[in-house]
């Protein structure tokens, strides 16, 4: 046994020769690599964040959330709420109204017809209601128009009588029947009727999220 071998260190652990064993721990290369990679990623994220802030404050178009929509994609909104051209609203002078009295009170048809004429409507037939409606209308009145009329004629006449029911039938022509019911007292006050007609003719524009 060599004199350099301390007692109890014989066998495999004995020291031979003139060199001493090194007791330094082994270097952890994996941990060092991970630390370098992590630092590079952190620097990259910081740089990307700075570029995004610069783009936002400079008004750049990098973010689609703040991009303004293309005006070509904006379309006017019709009265029905769908995109497309608005349906023109006819004037009272172009609407012919037949006034019929379905109540037991006399003189209502003529009185109502005269007032409608003053408000600009064209008056057609005036008299008692047909048998299908005579003494059978409990509400204020019913407005009956042809199915073929695709415009807002009934809506225009409806501004003159709040709460009136509307119906269509297979009649020929474009006249509208104004059938007076038991609940009728008078036409809508002209001031209120004019406001309703104005709102129908010139509806307020609806905001669009895409325009």
27-65, pLDDT tens digit by residue? 566 676 677 667 777 776 666 766 666 665 665 544 444
| Token pair 């064209």: residue | 122
Does 108 score more than 60 pLDDT? yes
Residue 74 confidence (pLDDT): 54
- Structural domains in the chain, CATH included, are 92-201 (3.30.70.2390)
Confidence tier at 3 by pLDDT (50, 70, 90):
low
Read off the pLDDT of residues 188-211 as tens digits, 9 standing for 90 and up. 999 999 999 999 888 776 655 555
pTM value surpassing 0.75 = no
Query: Within a 13 Å sphere around the CA of 104, how many CA atoms are in the beta-carbon half?
Result: 1
Give the pLDDT score at 80.
Answer: 41
């Amino acid at each position: 046994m060599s004199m350099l071998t301390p007692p109890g260190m014989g066998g495999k652990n004995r020291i031979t020769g003139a060199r001493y064993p090194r007791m330094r721990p082994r270097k952890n290369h994996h941990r060092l690599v991970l630390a370098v990679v992590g630092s590079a990623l952190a620097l990259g994220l910081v740089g990307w964040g700075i570029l995004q802030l610069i783009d936002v404050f400079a008004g750049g178009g990098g973010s689609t959330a703040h991009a303004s929509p293309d005006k070509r994609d904006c379309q006017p909104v019709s009265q029905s709420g769908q995109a497309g051209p608005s349906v023109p609203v006819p004037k009272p002078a172009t609407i012919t109204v037949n006034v019929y009295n379905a109540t037991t009170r006399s003189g209502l048809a003529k009185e109502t017809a005269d007032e409608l004429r003053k408000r600009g409507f064209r008056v057609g037939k005036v008299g008692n209601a047909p048998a299908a409606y005579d003494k059978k209308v409990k509400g204020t009145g019913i407005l009956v128009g042809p199915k073929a009329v695709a415009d807002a004629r009934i809506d225009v006449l409806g501004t003159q009588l709040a709460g009136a029911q509307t119906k269509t039938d297979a009649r020929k022509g474009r006249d509208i029947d104004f059938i007076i019911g038991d609940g009728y007292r008078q036409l809508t006050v002209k001031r209120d009727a004019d406001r309703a007609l104005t709102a129908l003719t010139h509806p307020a524009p609806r905001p669009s999220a895409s325009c």
